[in-house]
Chain A
Amino acid sequence: MNARTLDRIGEDVEALTASAPSTPSLAARRGIGWPAWLTRVIGVVFVLAVWELVAETVLSGRHVLPAPTTVVAKAFEDDLYGSSLGATMWEAFRGWVIGTALAAVFAAISILVPRFEAAIARLGVISYCIPTVAIGPILIVLFSDDTTKVTMAALSVFFVTLMGMTVGLRAAPKSVLDYIQSCGGHSGQALVKVRLRAAIPASIAGIALGAPAAILGAIVGDFMGGTKGLGIVMMQAQSSFQVSRVWAVGLVSTAVSGLLFAAIAGIGRIFGADALSSADAPDWESRSSSSGADPRTRSRWLNALASAAEKIAKIVFTVIAVLGAWWALLAIFTLNPYFARTPLDVWRSLGRVAGIATRWSQLSDGLIATLEHATLGFLLGTIAAIVVAAISLSAVVDAAVLPIVVMLRSVPLVSMTPLLGLLLGDGDAVIVVTGAIVTFVPSVVTIASGIRATPAPSLDLFYAYGSSRMDSVVKLRIRYALPALCSAVKVAVPGAILGSVLAEWLLGSSGVGHLMAVSIIGSDFNLLWASATAITIVSLVLYQLINDAEDLVIRWAVQ
């Protein structure tokens, strides 16, 4: 992994952590309008009013979509789920502290010992691609449910926070570091006086995003099992069709996540207001010139062969790493061999018939179904995101819709699956829609900022030449938006898989998630391990492949 790959991971983190795009739209530049916050408030109030109206009229008595007022009333009637909320928050808090602390340690190592930088970045990516839902069932059969939930919370936090901190520590402008050096300052002084200060905005953004991620991890952990927690209340309410309670739990967990996120981000804004940053302007020119190996030093074919070999090696490495982690888990903890199966046990069992078919065929059927769900969800979410991002260029949508989408990012989305189950029933639709929503929300923000990535002078140029709207989009904006689009796709794929697997686990009748639920009920722990490992490997390998494809696209876009 070279420095450029690291830069790209940085961009992906920006894709994950970006707030609403701040470049004023052309319409805003032309001086239309009233204060932006007013449009936002109007937008939110409008959405709530339509919702209330629809729920009270068209959907009245159908028990799928309660009115916002009913939801709020229910939340208070149920005493805001005091002890369940407390349990979930306590698990989320410990996971958040552990995840953040680990992230801080690894971020510090990667800055102080540059040799480990690439390996640590890769570790972060792996932690992001692991579908927590897949390893949750493993953890819950091996450990207590409390440990499972804290681990899942910590795992959900680790990546965003690590990357926020690494990006932050690398944000110090080189010219300032050069200046410190030329004054005879040593690297310790540079760290204290410049790097740490410059690191504040991105680090706090990472820590802030970690808070909803921890709550999400804890709630998803509840879906794995246990006795107390918001996720458990939600699941029970869903299976007994207590519609307003499902929505009320969703509301409470969203409110808590949102408040925590806003509070931490607010602190970050106070301290980071005038922090140095060189990350503001993406360096398009230098990026394109640094791409790829020097083609003159080796023949083209040799190059192609070498890069293909490197790619295959990475995939092999991924498989070995997953199996190694599995083996290490068994080696470190003394675990009940009834639950804890070694890779070899599982491998031998795959060919045997379990229930209706061999485990192999069950596993491959499950994987195919999950990939179908995730692909559909991903496509649906991405297309919707592109459409919304494109129309967000109009001033009204920009001011009213994007802030809502940005708010949705602090909602523990995957944990809303039971809610979707109420709306869409127990079929494949709910699985696809879960994947689509998980894809949609981060993608909109990333793609919208991509569409705004076109430099203002280029827009002026097209405008002054009387360019048609179509030409401005096709000849200019799309090309500048491509890198962001690639980042959005890359970030979305593991999310779509995670969403699909979770929905399958909770509500589905096919797919790996369903297979895991069935294998726990039937105590088929060989199949459980096989399913978890397979989907983890698929997720990691897909990410790798998309990463390689992105290389080609970007090379085409800028060359």
Chain B
Amino acid sequence: MSDGIKVSGVSKTFRTRTGVTHALQHIDLDTRQGEFVSLLGPSGCGKSTLLRIIADLETPTTGEVRIHGGPAHRARLEHRIGVAFQDPSLLPWRSVTDNVALPLELAGARVDSGAVADLIQLVGLEDFARAKPRTLSGGMRQRVALARALISSPELLLLDEPFGALDEMTRLEMNTELMRIWSERSTTTVLVTHSIPEAVFLSDRVVVMAARPGRIHQIVEIDLDRPRDASLLRKPEFHAYVDQLQDLIFAQRDTPAVAS
């Protein structure tokens, strides 16, 4: 098994006015290269914080993160990470094409306009290549953000609820789209989500997290055949996983964690 992400002994505490908050407590997580892992849990379980630590946007209080064998900050500085957040964060003065090309510029790489155009086509926005973000719908903006996350052919794709603000129908559409694009590339991916069906549909493994303090509750292997498409959503084995995860999450409520 080749190394993907290796999170060892990571804790994160924030000092607030009322005291110390344990956002994350002793997280260990190993993923394989090319694996799709989702972080699933109620709000406040630290799933976004964990993703931000993997992206080197936050420093852990204790522990360390290694990406494909090296420290996280090296992966970032070598421009090997692709990200998309809940907020598409497009630059309003740039066209769709220029927004998608941004990571290449930041990496100091040559902007291959053919590759940019291909990716824009892949997310179905070829008619809007020259449009400004404000003329696009929310779903279209997220597609641009997704294309932007993929343009630099990152080794690691980090997605923080990228579809969280979308309506259910657009979300489903974006999930199948992401699945299709990801299948072509098999990039090591971490997705933060609070949607159980989304996690089951996309992931190889789902990491169920619990809150106060933020910790890993259980890891569920999703043994469903790939390639997956929308028809999967109607299959009983898909629903069995959804039910299993639902039980895991709601069981937490009945047995509150004892802070250690």
Interface residues, chain A, with chain B CB atoms under 8 Å away:
30-31, 284-285, 288-289, 455, 457-458, 460-468, 471, 475-476, 479, 557-559
Contacts and interface: CB of A to CB of B under 8 A. Distances in A.
Contacts of B89: 455, 457-458, 460-461
B28 interface: no
A466 B158 contact: no
In this complex, the interface size class of chain B, counting residues with CB under 8 Å from chain A, is: 20 to 34
A463 B57 contact: yes
Main secondary structure, interface of B, reads loop
A464 B92 CA distance: 19
A475 B87 contact: no
Given A463-B56, A465-B102, A476-B91, 17 more contacts: A284-B92, A285-B133, A455-B89, A458-B89, A460-B55, A460-B57, A460-B89, A464-B55, A465-B79, A465-B83, A466-B76, A466-B77, A466-B79, A466-B106, A557-B93, A558-B92, A558-B93
Contacts, number: 68
Contact of A479 (B56, B79, B87, B93): B93
Given A465-B103, A466-B107, A471-B105, A458 B91 contact: yes
B112 interface: no
B92 A475 contact: no
B106 A465 contact: yes
B106 A467 contact: yes
Given A458-B89, A460-B85, A466-B79, A475 B105 contact: yes
Contacts of B76: 463-466
A455 B87 contact: yes
B188 interface: no
Contacts of B78: 466
Given A30-B59, A466-B78, A475-B105, A461 B85 contact: yes
15 contacts: A30-B59, A31-B59, A285-B92, A288-B134, A458-B89, A460-B85, A463-B56, A464-B83, A465-B106, A467-B106, A475-B106, A479-B93, A558-B92, A558-B93, A559-B132
A462 B59 CA distance: 17
Interface string B99-113: 000110111000000
B139 to A, nearest CB: 16
Contacts of A457: 85, 87, 89
A455 B91 CA distance: 10
A464 B93 contact: no
B81 interface: yes
Nearest to B85: A457
A493 to B, nearest CB: 26
B134 A464 contact: no
A461 B83 contact: yes
A479 B91 contact: yes
Contacts of B107: 465-466
A464 B159 CA distance: 12
Nearest to A476: B91
A60 B121 CA distance: 74
B150 to A, nearest CB: 13
A31 B93 CA distance: 32
Nearest to A458: B89
